[in-house]
A and B are shown apart, each in its own frame.
Chain A
Amino acid sequence: MNQIKKSFAEKWGHFVVKNKWTVLLFSIILALSLASQGKMEFDGDYHVFFSKSNPELEAFDALQEKYSKVDNIIMVLAPKNKNVFTKENLIAIEELTAEAWNTPYSSRVDALTNYQHTRAEGDDLYVEDLSYESENLTPEKVEEIKNIALNDPVLVHRLINEDGSVAAINITVRPPGLDSAKEIPEITKANRAMISAFEEKHSQFDVYVSGNVPLSTAFFESSQNDLALIGIMFMIVIAVTLLLTRNIFATLATLVVVMFSIMSAIGFIGLSGIKLTAPSSVFPTMILTLAVADSIHILVTLLQKFRKEGYQKNEAIIESMRLNFMPVFITSLTTVVGFLTLNFGEVPPFWHLGNITAFGMCMAFLYSTTTLPALMAIFPIWRGSKKEVLVQKTSFYTQLGQLIVTQPLRLTIISSCFILSMTFLALQNVFNDSFVDYFDETVKFRTDSDFINNNLTGIYNAEFSIGSGESGGINNPDYLEKLNSFEKWLNQQEEVIHVNSFAEVTRKINKSMHGDDESYYKVPTNRQEAAQYLLLYELSLPFGLDLNNQINVDKSETRLNVVLQNLGSKKMLEFTTRAENWLKKNTPDYMHAIGVSPTVMFAKLGFRQADGMIKGNIIALLLISLVLMIALKSFKMGAISLIPNLAPVIVGFGFWALYLGEINTGMVVVFGITLGIIVDDTVHFMSKFLRARRELNYNAKDSVIYAFETVGRALVITTIVLVAGFAVLSTSPFALNSYMARITVVIISSALVIDFILLPSILVLLHKEKSMLKKA
């Protein structure tokens, strides 16, 4: 089979060289026609991270449909005088609140000034804005407002902090969701314009912005930012290729191949209707990095044959094709398989990344084996004379090989111990998908959210829809009493910053209905009374500030919102479980509820992603071992290959435990991403080892040295290119991408080290045993 492949590769090389112009023209037409279908649209909506069938998303959507949606923007105003309660500051807040109603798709604005304060006056109930027509406020009135606000549990830690130095305005928006790629930027643009106008007019304030909509915007902007990394990567590719080939035309040909591959991938995006997201927008850098390795393999051999071994140009091209077709094909195949495994995960943007890159890699293989040789056949090449350098390098790898074969047993034991301890470390990593921490401190969303988290309220939350078992049952005193206990229990938990519960509404009305008597600040004890108070209160609320976001239409369920500190996913999930268990223990069946929210959705995302990916990775690993068994024509070698293919990932996560110890959803896919690269190293080394044994009848030790001599340099070069590419990605301010890139750098580097130390040691050891057994 090898023979057939070789001759096929040779024929292919002949054909391409002979029909160079036709091949070139055809590939240009192919690349251009694919690119003409290309369409790059972005989708920043945080919902894209969840598949339609994600149970947490379903639960959250169900809750939102029962009440109303809670996409929001929270604007936090920090006056420089550290006191919100001055006339000027209240005027400014009232003004911005009024302006906030003009936000596109806004349905509600909650602020300190329009907070519906309830009070009794004689027999009448007054429900009105806490501060209106603020320009007429007297100092006494300002003081009164301050006292009310700082003592109202609905406001403190939600719209005002404890010492009254920071206040918030929360805008609820309800975009129709027909085209989030348009709706969210529309909201953001209006909001930013509003804030900059406000800051200009009222320079006494610093404004900080967070919420779901700014989160989506941050995703959106980070996807465009990461797409731009491709520019730096192109420069690195040009530099590296020039350095390695010392040939301007070879560099140019490489650029054409990677450009065509990326153009084709863009065409694929258009044809498949994928909208780019922060994780999938790194596809050009991925394709560029991986595709350049193909070209370099072919070019390095070509130039070596031409410069060093005296081949004619076209002969050198055909010879290079003959030698590299199979390894490049296997690498491409394993890379494609690796990227396709991303489809086993739970997160659609990573499916897209996998599919786009897989398509790009197929095309890269095609262009590397057609356009590249055709271009090299067309371009002139001159002979250089720098043989000495090459000879020196070869000898370095030979020496390395000689060194390693002298102590295979020791090296195997040391490496095994190292890998075992890394395995132990790798298992110490914990998942953390706190979405604010996805962004580093160069992103304003992150620093603003941190400020809000530290000074006013929390960004993370969990919501519970708590049923009463019957229509109108939310006025049942028993229900209210239990809801009240749940609220009290929640407030005692250290993770909890703020609780917004319907029980508070009823306590407050009850008090006001009894002439603001503090002793009535408790849930009503009579059902009819509670229902009628509620009716009165609801009739008194203005536009947009109703209770429909807290009570369902049937008045059978209420929504309870808990604001949480930033604890990391694990503790967040522990908290929701604890709260769910409290309900199970202390309330009747119909009051049991599960905690839902974007926080919970992201917190569980990493675990879901891991579950899916582990399945996918096992399948891929077995599939690739099978491919290697066939390609190397050896069951044993295929089985041995599992070790160097698996170990780098373990080492990568082991290092990570020492580095950060927290892993996110993006990192779960690295095995799929690096599989092709790791296998590439293994295949090259093993195939050269086998060739030495089978064709040259070398013993195991000499075969290892031969493998070092022949592929050592190529492996180092591709590793350098790949490390450079992922190092560029690791500068992304977006942790799903940067963490993934950082661990990939570690994995690729350790793959090289393992292939240079552990793999040759094992090969020597196993083949020794075999020959000894035979003798015996």
Chain B
Amino acid sequence: MNKLIFTLLLISPLIVISQTAEEKGYQIVSKAIDADRGFGSSSVDLKMVLKNKNGQVSERTLSNKTLELDEDGDKSMIIFTSPKDIKGTSTLTFTHKVGADDQWLFLPSIQRTKRISSSNKSGPFVGSEFAYEDLSSIELEKNTYKFIKQDGDLLYVEQDPVDPKSGYKKRIAVYNKAKGYRLETIKFFDRKGALLKTLTYLDYKIYKNKFWRASKFEMVNHQSKKETQLFFENYNFEVNLKESDFTEIALRRSSN
């Protein structure tokens, strides 16, 4: 799910002057996509650590499966493994290049699957500082891009979400050219343009000699002073998942 695929949708005619910056931003993101293309499918276990201003801590664990698709956005499944009360609860998401994503939640306590309002993906993910939109694969058409600056191997690209329901006005993402265009940090700016959060990717490892994956995400909310850390373990690129692993039936099955 931390695989980010970007393509340029359209260049707003309003920003003709900075067209070269837009083209360059687009180019960088395209290269990042290309660099990460072809992993097929993967699975990973996650630990999420939530911290408030006081240092009070709370943990959740989950596992994640992703299926790479070329013609449309990725499919992914998240299964909660702790705390106990929500163990087995799982979400299934079909990301779409155009339009709202589809999302379902399976509730083991009532053995039912519920569709989630797809337009509301800007809220916090299980009380953390991550929004759902920070974690889902951000598809191409969902942003416009603008190259800002280069600092050594680091390339700064502004991403402006197209969706009016996004919680952000813009993001500034930093790509590392020397390391397969992997992401180093992202700064999130809220709707009024004030710095809201910073996401830092830490402890990168390379898999199959091609795919860079960070072992730790650190999201700091500058306004609430809360933070959330995500620890990734047991990356598996050999799971060979199929489309049939991402259906409502699979969703029910996965909870056991």
Indicate if the CB atoms of A543 and B122 lie closer than 8 Å: yes
**Complex: how many Å from CA A721 to CA B124?**
63
Q: Is the CB of B124 within 8 A of A538?
A: yes
In the complex, A126→B117 CA distance in Å? 6
Whether B110 is near chain A, meaning CB under 8 Å from some CB there, is yes
With both chains docked as a complex, state the minimum distance between the C-beta of B139 and any C-beta of chain A, in angstroms: 19
Instruction: Look across to chain A and name the residue whose beta carbon is closest to the beta carbon of B106.
Output: A532
**Chain B residues whose C-beta falls within 8 Å of the C-beta of A540 in the assembled complex:** 116-117, 120, 123
B56 to chain A: which residues have CB within 8 Å?
66, 552-554
Whether A541 lies near B120 (C-beta < 8 A) is yes
- Chain B residues lying within 8 Å of A440, measured Cβ to Cβ, are none
Partner of A532, one of B58, B85, B124: B85
Q: Given contacts A529-B110, A532-B109, is CB(A553)–CB(B123) below 8 Å?
A: no
B165 within 8 A of A: yes
A555 at the interface (CB under 8 A from B): yes
Kindly state whether residue A327 has any CB partner on chain B within 8 Å.
no
Contacts of B86 in A (CB 8 A): 528, 531-532, 535
Residues of A contacting B84 in the complex (Cβ-Cβ under 8 angstroms): 472
Tally of chain B residues near chain A (CB < 8 A): 46
Q: Does B99 contact A (CB under 8 A)?
A: no
Give the distance to chain B from A459, nearest Cβ to Cβ, in Å. Answer: 25
Are B54 and A66 closer than 8 Å at their CB atoms? Answer: yes
Chain B residues lying within 8 Å of A555, measured Cβ to Cβ, are 58, 83, 127
Complex: A552 Cα to B57 Cα, angstroms: 10
Q: B126-175: which residues lie under 8 A (CB-CB) from chain A?
A: 126-127, 131-132, 165-167
Instruction: Name the interface residues of A532-570: CB closer than 8 Å to any CB of B.
Output: 532-533, 535-536, 538-548, 551-555
User: Smallest Cβ distance from A187 to chain B, in angstroms?
Assistant: 12
Instruction: Give bound CA distance, A124 to B123, whole Å.
Output: 19
Assess whether A66 is in contact with B52, with CB atoms less than 8 Å apart.
yes
Task: Give 21 A-B contacts (CB < 8 Å), ordered by A residue.
Answer: A101-B192, A123-B113, A125-B114, A128-B119, A128-B120, A471-B58, A528-B108, A531-B109, A532-B108, A535-B86, A536-B105, A538-B124, A539-B105, A542-B120, A542-B123, A543-B131, A543-B166, A545-B123, A552-B56, A554-B56, A554-B58
Measured CA separation A359–B126 after assembly (Å): 56
B residues within 8 A CB of A188?
A: none
Interface residues of B in 217-237 (CB under 8 A from A): 223-224, 226
B99 to chain A minimum Cβ distance, whole angstroms, is: 17
How far apart are A717's CB and chain B's nearest CB, in angstroms? 58
Bound state CA distance, A66 and B83, in angstroms? 20
**Structural contact, A125 and B116, CB atoms closer than 8 A:** yes
- Cβ-defined contact, A107 with B114, below 8 A: no
Is B208's beta carbon under 8 Å from chain A? Answer: no
Cβ of A491 within 8 Å of any chain B Cβ, yes or no, is no
Bound-state CA distance A126–B85 (Å) is: 23
B51 in contact (CB, < 8 A): yes
Q: Closest A-chain residue to B223, C-beta based?
A: A174
Contacts of B125 in A (CB 8 A): 539
> Which of B51, B85, B224 interacts with A531 by CB under 8 Å?
B85
B214 at the interface (CB under 8 A from A): no
Q: Is the interface on chain A under 10, 10 to 19, 20 to 34, or 35 or more residues?
A: 35 or more
> Complex Cα distance A125/B117, Å?
7
Give residues 43-86 of B contacting A (CB, 8 Å): 50-54, 56-58, 80, 83-86
Q: How far is the CA of A526 from the CA of B83 in the complex (A)?
A: 16
Chain B contact surface mostly: loop
A527 within 8 A of B: yes
Query: Chain B residue with minimal CB distance to A128?
Result: B117
A154 vs B107: C-alpha distance in the bound complex, in angstroms?
Answer: 26
A125 to B52, CA, bound (A): 30
The 10 A-B pairs with the shortest beta carbon distances in the complex, nearest first, are A543-B167, A531-B85, A543-B122, A541-B123, A528-B109, A124-B115, A554-B58, A542-B120, A532-B107, A529-B109
Q: Is A521 an interface residue (CB 8 A)?
A: no
**Within residues 320 to 336 of chain A, which ones have a CB less than 8 A from any CB in chain B?**
none
B166 CB, min distance to chain A CBs, angstroms: 8
Residue A103 is within 8 A (CB to CB) of chain B in the complex? yes
CB interface residues, B 22-59, toward A, < 8 Å = 50-54, 56-58
Min CB–CB distance A656 → chain B (angstroms): 43
| Closest Cβ–Cβ distance, residue B25 to chain A (whole Å) | 24
Chain B: CB-nearest residue to A528:
B109
Query: Does A475 sit within 8 A of B, measured CB to CB?
Result: yes
Does chain A have a CB within 8 A of B239?
A: no
Residues on A close to B: CB < 8 A? 62, 65-66, 68, 101-107, 123-128, 174, 176, 471-472, 475, 513, 526-533, 535-536, 538-548, 551-555
CB <8 Å contact, B131 and A103 = no
Scan residues 86-105 of chain B and give those whose CB is less than 8 A from a CB of chain A: 86, 89, 91, 103, 105
Verify B85–A546 contact, CB threshold 8 A: no
A545 to B191, CA, bound (A): 14
CB distance from B126 to the nearest CB of A (A): 6
Does B194 belong to the interface (CB within 8 Å)? yes
Over the window 188-227 of chain B, the binary record of Cβ atoms lying under 8 Å from chain A Cβ atoms (1 yes, 0 no) is 0001101000000000000000000000000000011010
Give which listed residue, B53, B107, B123, B192, contacts A106 with CB less than 8 A. B192
A107 → B minimal CB distance (Å): 6
Q: Does A542 contact B58, Cβ atoms closer than 8 Å?
A: no
B109/A526 in contact, CB under 8 A? yes
| Chain B residue nearest in CB terms to A64 | B53
- Shortest beta-carbon distance, B232 to chain A, in Å? 21
Which residues on the A side are within 8 Å of B89 (C-beta)?
532, 535
Please give, as numbers and ranges, the residues of chain A lying within 8 Å of B113 by CB-CB distance: 123
Chain A residues, CB < 8 A from B53: 65
Report the minimal beta-carbon distance from A549 to chain B, rounded to whole angstroms: 10
Known: A104-B194, A123-B114, A528-B85. A65 touches B109 (CB 8 A): no
Nearest CB of B to A202, in Å:
22
Query: When the two chains form their complex, are residues B123 and A107 in contact, meaning their CB atoms are under 8 A apart?
Result: no
Closest to A526 in B: B109
Residues in B with CB closer than 8 Å to A552 are 52, 56
CB distance B109 to A548 under 8 Å?
no
Closest to B55 in A: A65
- Closest chain A CB from B221 CB (angstroms): 10
Are A542 and B167 in touch, CB under 8 angstroms?
yes
CA distance A475 to B89 in the complex (A): 15
In contact, A536 and B114 (Cβ under 8 angstroms): yes
B126: which A residues are within 8 A, CB to CB? 535, 538-539
| Distance (whole angstroms) from the CB of A191 to the closest CB of chain B | 13
Kindly identify which residue among A124, A527, A542 contacts B85, using a CB–CB cutoff of 8 Å: A527
- A538 and B58 contacting across the interface, CB-CB below 8 Å: no
Determine the distance from Cα of A107 to Cα of B125 in the docked complex, in whole angstroms.
17
| Complex CA distance for A538 and B91, rounded to whole angstroms | 13
Nearest residue (CB) in B for A527 is B85
Contact A65 B119 (CB under 8 A): no
Q: A102-B191, A538-B126, A542-B165 are in contact. Are A124 and B114 (CB under 8 A)?
A: yes
Q: A105-B194, A107-B223, A538-B126 are in contact. Are A471 and B117 (CB under 8 A)?
A: no
Are B127's CB and A548's CB within 8 A?
yes
A530 to B84 Cα, complex, angstroms: 12
Give every chain A residue within 8 A of B166 (Cβ-Cβ).
543
Contact status A65-B85, CB under 8 Å: no
Most chain A beta-carbon contacts within 10 A, residue among B52, B127, B192, B194: B127
